[in-house]
């Protein structure tokens, strides 16, 4: 996927993640209607990122959707997500999570929606697949790692790189969630270890805002976005729902390699939530 640069101005990229749309409209996760919560996030996007209030399109260069886009890997969920997002008029790149079926995503919305590499101006976004059929936790495996290595080798020396995947490649601080982190993240860090062009690694899965760093890649920003539905409380030993609201992450990618980012959440909306839920 190729997206033209804005000249000297920053490229605006948005991340939504973990929409968990059901097969039917209105299915819920821990009591929250995941269609309704996504609709609130889309309203927020239009309010905060719209070019003009009534135009119905975003002044944005790219929308990333980083997995668990459906709750049960159904075509109906992917179709509905597509119908909700297409009117925003933004190029989109999706990748699968553990609740998704990659082949079904491709069959439903087409292969162009799941690019392996996006070039935007002098930036490159590498999209990895950390989902393993039948498993909750993440693993990249030799194919993804070799593919990433080849992609990095083919990219120009003067570009800036973001790596994007579903599962967290580093612990986020919650024991139960960190049992699901990418099991071969050591190999990922080996591939990325000598990569001076890398600016950020971005993921979903953890249903919370996260930003951190790792001594192996000290100059690289590591971050996750809130889910568009339920949130998990940070720093918990066991599954714990958080009352924080759904949201999204924005990035500004500057031509000089500077990456600015932030998270925005919906406010003052009525969404049911079962705080006592013990799983999802
Ligand atoms: Fe999720």
pLDDT (mean) for 175-183: 97
Strands of the chain, DSSP E? 2-3, 11-16, 28-29, 32-33, 62-66, 92-95, 117-120, 123-127, 160-164, 198-203, 210-214, 217-224, 231-232, 241-242, 247-253, 259-265
* pLDDT at residue 184, rounded to an integer: 98
Q: Where are the domains of the chain?
A: 2-265
Q: How far is the CA of 185 from the centre of ligand 1 (A)?
A: 19
Tens of pLDDT, residue by residue over 84-136, are 999 999 999 999 999 999 999 999 999 999 999 999 999 999 999 999 999 99
- C-alpha closest to that of 228 among 31, 13, 33, 24: 33
pLDDT-based confidence at residue 277 (cuts at 50, 70, 90): confident
Tokens of 150: 């080849």
271 close to 36: Cβ distance less than 8 angstroms: yes
Whether the predicted pLDDT of 242 surpasses 70 = yes
Q: How far is the CA of 70 from the centre of ligand 1 (A)?
A: 9
Q: How far is the CA of 266 from the centre of ligand 1 (A)?
A: 18
How far does CA 134 lie from the centroid of its chain? 20
The rounded distance, in Å, linking the Cα atoms of 64 and 123 is 14
Q: What are the residue ranges of helices labelled H in 129-194?
A: 141-154, 175-178, 185-192
pTM for the whole structure: 0.96
Which architecture does CATH list for 2-265? 4-Layer Sandwich (3.60)
Q: How far is the CA of 7 from the centre of ligand 1 (A)?
A: 36
Q: In DSSP terms, which residues pair with 136 in a beta bridge?
A: none
Whether the predicted pLDDT of 52 surpasses 80 = no
DSSP state of 244: P
Window from 6-10, 45-49, 134-138, 239-243 with minimum mean pLDDT: 6-10
How far does CA 22 lie from the centroid of its chain? 18
pLDDT-based confidence at residue 10 (cuts at 50, 70, 90): very high
The rounded distance, in Å, linking the Cα atoms of 63 and 93 is 6
Q: How far is the CA of 214 from the centre of ligand 1 (A)?
A: 23
């Amino acid at each position: 996927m190729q997206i033209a640069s804005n000249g000297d101005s920053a490229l605006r990229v948005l991340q939504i993640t973990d929409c968990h749309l059901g097969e039917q409209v209105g299915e819920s996760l821990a009591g929250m209607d995941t269609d309704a919560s996504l609709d609130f996030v889309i309203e927020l996007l239009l309010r905060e990122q719209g070019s003009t209030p009534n135009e119905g399109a975003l002044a944005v260069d790219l929308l990333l959707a980083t997995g668990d886009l459906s709750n049960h890997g159904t075509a109906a969920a992917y179709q509905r997500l597509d119908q909700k997002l297409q009117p925003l008029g933004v190029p989109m790149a999706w990748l699968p999570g553990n609740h998704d079926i990659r082949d079904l995503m491709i069959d439903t919305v087409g292969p162009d929606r799941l690019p392996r590499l996006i070039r935007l101006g002098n930036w490159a976004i590498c999209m990895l697949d950390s989902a393993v059929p039948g498993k909750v936790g993440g693993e990249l495996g030799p194919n993804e790692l070799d593919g990433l290595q080849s992609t990095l080798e083919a990219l120009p020396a003067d570009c800036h790189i973001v790596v994007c995947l579903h599962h967290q490649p580093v612990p986020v601080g919650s024991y139960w969630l960190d049992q699901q982190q990418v099991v071969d993240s050591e190999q990922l860090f080996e591939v990325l270890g000598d990569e001076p062009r890398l600016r950020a690694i971005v993921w979903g899965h953890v249903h919370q805002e996260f930003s951190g760093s790792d001594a192996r890649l000290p100059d690289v920003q590591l971050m996750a976005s809130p889910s568009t539905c339920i949130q998990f409380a940070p720093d918990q030993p066991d599954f714990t729902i958080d009352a924080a609201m759904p949201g999204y992450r924005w990035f500004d990618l500057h031509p000089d390699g500077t990456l600015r980012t932030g998270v925005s959440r919906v406010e003052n909306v009525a969404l049911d939530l079962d705080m006592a839920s013990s799983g999802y």
